[in-house]
Amino acid sequence: MRQYFILFIFGILLAFSSCRTDFDTVASSGDLKFSRDTVYLDTVFTNISSSTYQLKVYNKSKNDISIPTIQLKKGLSSKYRLTVDGMTGNNGKIFKDVTLLAKDSLYIFIETTAAITDANAADFLYTDEIQFDSGANLQEVALVTLIQDAVFLYPKQNPDGTKEKIKIDDKEVDGFYLEDNELNFTNEKPYVIYGYAAVPENKTVIFEAGARVHFHANSGIYVDRDASLQINGSKSNTEKLENEVIFEGDRLESLYSDIPGQWNSVLFANGSKNHSITNLTLKNAVIGLDFKSPANLISIKNTQIYNCAQYGILAQNAAIIGENIAVNYTGLASLSCVYGGNYSFTHCTFNNNWPSSSQFAVNLSNSLPGAVPETNPLTQAAFNNCIIYGSNTNEFNLNKNTNTPFVYQLNNCLLKFSSTTTNPDYQFKTDAIHYNGITLNENPKYYNVNQNKLNIDNTSAAFAKGNQAYIIPLDILGITRTSPPDLGAYQSKDFPK
């Protein structure tokens, strides 16, 4: 019995000795340390929520402390929202008696949704401070957000609460038809599109030089039957591409700068017509330019398309003349011409460094599963002074139905196809009907392929390999080409060392 009593007493002593004193706190003395003294929340559009940013707060002392208040200086009227170690406090604005253990830290997560009218009229900055404690112990961390004004285009709300819909390929999607006063996109303000902005039949949408168009998730442009699209960008003089027309997602934070699939596509319906695209930069779509059997010839010049989840250009039974086009990082193919058509591409760089073993830079086909009929003639697919390259073993794919015309020719092109094959369609050195002047499996040595900088210098295998007969006098940047010309969209130049 005595030994049980001793064990009982020992247990009590052990329990008391192991009790935590973590919450026997002392008041904060104003000696908190922070992971940064200013949190920049990047640029956001008016009334669109930002990404979530974090601030780490450190207690370097040997004492557990209590911070009497953590709050936004503007209080409950602030456009910022905080979460402090998982707590939301008073509407994410004010927190009382926050405990921070010795030699420990806490996380503060920060978001904002602000309008252009909330920002400083002189610089469009919206600012606030996170205040820790008050009086002599007051410490502050600044918050800064640039608010950008924009023109917002979106489907109307129906009386029953549903969104306005349009039909694309017999499927209803969130979308709306542009009014006559919405068909001209200028460079005065950026545009933000929700859903599909559709161009009505017999109307033309025009994008002026310097226009900036941002698409929300699952959004895009739809050009209906007998409608037209004209993109009238021009040469820019700086890396800001001030005269380029730019299509991209509506998240402006640097984290989103190269994430594929943020919005859907620019979709050209069967029977749409008279399309012209000049000096366009398109980024981060699912399919960049999606042509569904347009009625007549399409011109694409000086155009860059990057980071598309499926295709950069998908053309179904289309007719395209392409000059100075650069495409890179696409999940399936940078250029895919299916169900026949008529194509001519000169001084283009079709590269694909998407990290998979099934992607291509260029895919050609004269068939389409499920179509009636299933095959259609490929009357021409000409590639002149082009680069067709990428990270895969073979970047050029022919999907040919031998019962239907399939006409193609590569003249003075750098081509990646390193598999050994007896297939007669891929005899690049001996098949003079389809291949002339092919530079095979040599590195073009792009300036920085991971940043979509497909420029080359004089050490590139594409240097001075072009045929003068196919020369486009100016490259994609408006630089004069020399003779003999380089292959691809870019004239060679020296890079900074």
* pLDDT tens-digit series, residues 120-179: 988 899 999 999 999 999 999 999 999 999 999 999 988 887 889 999 998 999 999 999
Say if residue 332 is in the same domain as residue 453: yes
Q: What is the pLDDT of residues 440-477, one digit of tens each?
A: 999 999 999 999 999 999 999 999 999 999 999 999 99
Say if residue 132 is in the same domain as residue 184: no
Domain count, the chain: 2
Say if residue 316 is in the same domain as residue 205: yes
Per the structure, the complete domain to which residue 79 belongs is given by 26-148
| Res 15 pLDDT > 50 | no
In this prediction, residues 38-53 reach a mean pLDDT of 90
Q: How far apart are CA 310 and CA 329, in angstroms?
A: 9
The reply to whether 441 falls in a domain is yes
Q: Are 68 and 25 in contact (CB under 8 A)?
A: no
Q: What is the pLDDT of residues 374-419, one digit of tens each?
A: 999 999 999 999 999 999 999 999 999 999 999 999 999 999 999 9
Mean per-residue pLDDT of the chain: 93
Q: How far apart are CA 491 and CA 489, in angstroms?
A: 7
Say if residue 208 is in the same domain as residue 336: yes
Say if residue 252 is in the same domain as residue 400: yes
> Strand, helix or coil at 77?
helix
- Output the pTM of the full model: 0.87
- Report the CATH number that the domain containing residue 133 is assigned in CATH: 2.60.40.10
Say if residue 338 is in the same domain as residue 433: yes
The reply to whether 379 falls in a domain is yes
Which of 120, 148, 176 terminates a domain? The answer is 148
Q: What is the pLDDT of residues 200-230, one digit of tens each?
A: 999 999 999 999 999 999 999 999 999 999 9
Say if residue 39 is in the same domain as residue 187: no
Q: Are 395 and 368 in contact (CB under 8 A)?
A: no
In Å, how far are 145, 153, 284, 325 from 272, measured between CA atoms?
A: 42, 22, 24, 22
Confidence tier at 20 by pLDDT (50, 70, 90)? very low
The reply to whether 488 falls in a domain is no
Burial of 265 (0-12, 13-18, 19+ CB in 10 A): buried
| Res 14 pLDDT > 50 | no
pLDDT at position 497:
56
Dihedral sign (CA 205, 210, 216, 218): positive
Confidence tier at 1 by pLDDT (50, 70, 90)? very low
Q: How far apart are CA 77 and CA 344, in angstroms?
A: 59
Residue with tokens 């023109």: 151
Say if residue 264 is in the same domain as residue 279: yes
Using alpha carbons only, give the angle 249, 255, 258 rounded to the nearest 5 degrees.
55
Confidence tier at 7 by pLDDT (50, 70, 90)? very low
The reply to whether 292 falls in a domain is yes
Q: How many alpha carbons fall within 13 Å on the CB side of residue 367?
A: 10
The reply to whether 261 falls in a domain is yes
The reply to whether 30 falls in a domain is yes
| Res 6 pLDDT > 50 | no
Say if residue 138 is in the same domain as residue 155: no
Say which residue, 82 or 47, is predicted with more confidence. 82
Which of 125, 148, 171 terminates a domain? The answer is 148
The reply to whether 476 falls in a domain is no
Say if residue 382 is in the same domain as residue 336: yes
Say if residue 249 is in the same domain as residue 379: yes
Say if residue 318 is in the same domain as residue 372: yes
pLDDT at position 481:
97
| Res 430 pLDDT > 90 | yes
Which of 119, 148, 177 terminates a domain? The answer is 148
The reply to whether 88 falls in a domain is yes
